[in-house]
Structure 1
Amino acid sequence: MYIRGVNSQGRFLDIFEVVEFDHVACSSSNGLEGTCLHEFDCQKVGGMVLGSCADGFGSCCVVQFSCDSRTSAPVGWFTNPGFPSPSSNRMSCTASIDKASRDITQIRLDFQSFEMLPPTGGNCEQDQFIVTGQNANNVIPILCGINTGQHVYIDVGHVEGPVNLSIQSITADNRLFSIKVTQLTPADDLAAPVGCIQYFTAVQGHLESFNYRDRSDTIVGKKPSYLNNLNYAMCVERRPDTCSITYTNAGAMQIVNFDNEGLPVIPPRQAGVEVFNCPTDWLLIAAVRLCGDRFNDGTVIQDFTLDAPVTDDSNGPVVVWFRSDSVYNGRGFKLQYQQNSCSST
């Protein structure tokens, strides 16, 4: 849009241009996703200009906060002190999130970077990521280890706020975290069904247990493992032209169960199915409990030493449950899912 003004003597002023552009995502100089805004608008929301966008007419605005911060920004980043470098200090670090409006019912956390010390025997003892202030019936598990690429949803529709995100550590090892905090109303595209800690909307993708990945700097004697005392739902948006969803093993699966004498319930390198094999630790897919060192429910291939696809063609929401006890834990799971068109089922 071009504007031309006239001064008090009736002479035309120089032509200048007011550029309008969409407030889309942009890449900032420190690797965090920002929003393309006018510089003045960025300052109003408490953000920092970390690059340009819209062919140089806009500013890549990033709202970034760290320890002892409080924000009501609709979108922002909770980062470790000194980010993008790791922090090597003991820390008690809390950021408080006020709801941007009364319409906010969820907060989505995307872990762009999440590298902390791993659990000990399934318990987060040295490092802890803790969420408080959410709905009383929406417990977010205490997390630690490597969770880069994961996400969680926090239900906040029945609380005024703030919601507190805390990192607690007791040693001086390196920690690196950059967590995108997005506030959501029920009308937002990213909004998840109530009660889903994770929500996937693509036709295909991966479901992965927390702390499944290897740490970037190896810790002697510490292997990736899932956490104790988990009980949560991973939900997949059913696409309108699909009638089933197929899961396949995409990694080294290990969901363990032991009897009262401390002996494995399932033989090594075999799949376990249902309550007898999977009494305490299990994935629930299509109302069937699955566990063990292989992914196979026995309906396709009855050789339990092999992995086999598992297809859910039931009606209703697509939900995968994971549960673990307070005693034993294994590597975890990484499943690839594929939604199937109705014409192929």
Structure 2
Amino acid sequence: MRNQRTGLKICIKMLVILALAASTHADTITARNQTDRFLSLFSVVRFKNTGCTGSSGDSGTCYAKHTCLFNGGNLEGTCAGGFGHCCVTKIGCGGVSRNNCTYIESPGYPNTFSTAMTCKQTIMFNRDVCQLRLDVTEVDLAPPDNRGMCLEDVLTFSQDIKWSQVCGTTLNTHYYLDVDPDTSTKLDFDFNIGAGPYPRKWKIKVSQICCDQLSMAPMGCGQYFTSTTGTIKAWNTDSADRVYLHGQNYATCLRKEIDRCTITYTETMGDWFLPRCGDTLEFPFNIIQQNNPATGITCLGPGGVSPVLRPATASLQGPQQIYFVTGDGTNNHVDVGQNSNLDLEFSQGAC
């Protein structure tokens, strides 16, 4: 009898070990059952590491308690029927995170600060990751000058060249960074903050996207929309002057949704946005001329013009790409009508 019990214990332990090794995207915990007075039995509970919402309202991932704490997360409520914990990860200056769904925050967030400093925040990722999605709650840095140059504050990224510099104010939008794990399996967010009195703060949720995920954006897309309506926003569209930034080079991509045959773009301001000559805003059809029929211009010279506001509608036969390239760095970006930055609402119409 004793040998039989010993053998049974060994078999149960082996089952637990096999379950722990079965999946890299699920957590396994063991719960001891003492109903048998002679033998302690174990129940193996496995649950997927799915998304969850923590008690703070921020997004997290459902992990076992030890997994969350080991990876530097915070426990914010339970999930998976009480067997898991909603793990919310936030890092400050000097912080490093391997967790998918990590928030990078400014010192003392949501309070502002006005002290000169450098702040590096690092996201580590596996070799099967091809993109990072940035869901911007807010990035509020000192504004650019009239040419769109970030002179006092600047945010740069250690991989991807879509945005050579970021500053100013941006709220409630998203962007995509393409990463190359063969070059490096980390991405640094580098904030260089000047000594001016501007009140700064930032909060960005960073999600990792594997190369085979359906949610992956087409390469080169700085924004990717998979909905019938939305708002396209370049960096610094929420500041008082809305000056568009120098050093932008990316496409905004819109997926054609099922049973949708037209798309309508509408400016959020009183004038249609046109960049200065030397910079480029390129649509897949002649939307600029549709909104400026009197002149047909596609860019604004030093004198400036106020384009006519008129929603532009075109047939939707496939995905849409809007290219935004700003590299001159000498043009005055102010006084481009009332709207000096790219800020468009879109709506896909039924067939």
- Please name the residue that 1:163 is paired with: 187
- How much has 1:146 moved relative to structure 2? 0.9
Q: 1:312 aligns with which of 303, 311, 314?
A: 314
Give the AA of the match of 1:332: N
Q: Distance in 1 between matches of 2:257 and 2:292?
A: 25
Local SS of the residue matching 1:149: strand
Q: Distance in 1 between matches of 2:322 and 2:64?
A: 43
Q: 1:126 aligns with which of 152, 165, 185?
A: 152
Which segment is superposed worse, 308-317 or 176-185?
A: 308-317
Q: Show CA shifts across 1:68-97 (max 9, x none).
A: 122222221111122232233222001222
1:234 equivalent in alignment to 2:285: no
Give the AA of the match of 2:248: L
- How much has 1:205 moved relative to structure 2? 0.7
- Please name the residue that 2:23 is paired with: none
Largest Rg, 1 or 2: 2
- How much has 1:196 moved relative to structure 2? 0.5
Q: Show CA shifts across 1:12-60 (max 9, x none).
A: 99xx998776644433344432223332231233211134456766432
Change (3 A) 1:229 1:2: closer
Change (3 A) 1:129 1:253: farther
So what's the TM-score if we normalise by structure 1? 0.75
Q: Distance in 2 between matches of 1:95 and 1:162?
A: 10
Q: Are the equivalent residues in 1 in contact too, given 2:163–2:249 (CA < 8 A)?
A: no
Change (3 A) 1:153 1:12: closer
Q: Are the equivalent residues in 2 in contact too, given 1:230–1:322 (CA < 8 A)?
A: yes
Q: 1:212 aligns with which of 214, 225, 237?
A: 237
Count of residue pairs the alignment pairs up: 302
Unaligned 5+ segments in structure 2 are 1-29, 295-305
- How much has 1:314 moved relative to structure 2? 5.6
Q: Are the equivalent residues in 2 in contact too, given 1:252–1:333 (CA < 8 A)?
A: no
Give the AA of the match of 1:193: P
Local SS of the residue matching 2:172: coil
Local SS of the residue matching 1:105: strand
Q: Are the equivalent residues in 2 in contact too, given 1:129–1:168 (CA < 8 A)?
A: yes
Which segment is superposed worse, 84-93 or 123-132?
A: 84-93
- Please name the residue that 1:142 is paired with: 165
Local SS of the residue matching 2:166: coil
Local SS of the residue matching 2:112: coil
- Please name the residue that 2:128 is paired with: 103
- Please name the residue that 1:5 is paired with: 34
Q: Are the equivalent residues in 2 in contact too, given 1:256–1:281 (CA < 8 A)?
A: no
CA RMSD of aligned residues (A): 3.2
- Please name the residue that 1:328 is paired with: 332
Q: Show CA shifts across 1:85-110 (max 9, x none).
A: 223322200122222x2111111111
- Please name the residue that 1:286 is paired with: 284
Change (3 A) 1:141 1:242: farther
Which segment is superposed worse, 314-323 or 71-80?
A: 314-323
- Please name the residue that 1:151 is paired with: 174
- How much has 1:64 moved relative to structure 2? 1.2
Q: Distance in 2 between matches of 1:245 and 1:142?
A: 31
Give the AA of the match of 2:283: I
1:338 equivalent in alignment to 2:316: no
Give the AA of the match of 1:213: D
- How much has 1:160 moved relative to structure 2? 2.5
Q: Are the equivalent residues in 1 in contact too, given 2:117–2:192 (CA < 8 A)?
A: yes
Change (3 A) 1:92 1:250: same
Q: Show CA shifts across 1:109-150 (max 9, x none).
A: 11112111111111111111110134xxx4323111111212
Give the AA of the match of 2:194: I
Q: 1:48 aligns with which of 74, 78, 82?
A: 74
Give the AA of the match of 1:65: I
Q: 1:73 aligns with which of 85, 99, 107?
A: 99
Local SS of the residue matching 2:129: coil
- How much has 1:319 moved relative to structure 2? 0.4
- Please name the residue that 1:261 is paired with: none
Local SS of the residue matching 2:149: coil
Q: Are the equivalent residues in 2 in contact too, given 1:283–1:289 (CA < 8 A)?
A: no
Q: Distance in 1 between matches of 2:83 and 2:280?
A: 53
Which segment is superposed worse, 160-169 or 309-318?
A: 309-318
Q: Distance in 2 between matches of 1:77 and 1:69?
A: 10
Give the AA of the match of 2:168: G
Q: Percent identity?
A: 29
Give the AA of the match of 1:183: Q
Give the AA of the match of 2:100: P
Q: Show CA shifts across 1:226-257 (max 9, x none).
A: 11243321001121322332212222446456
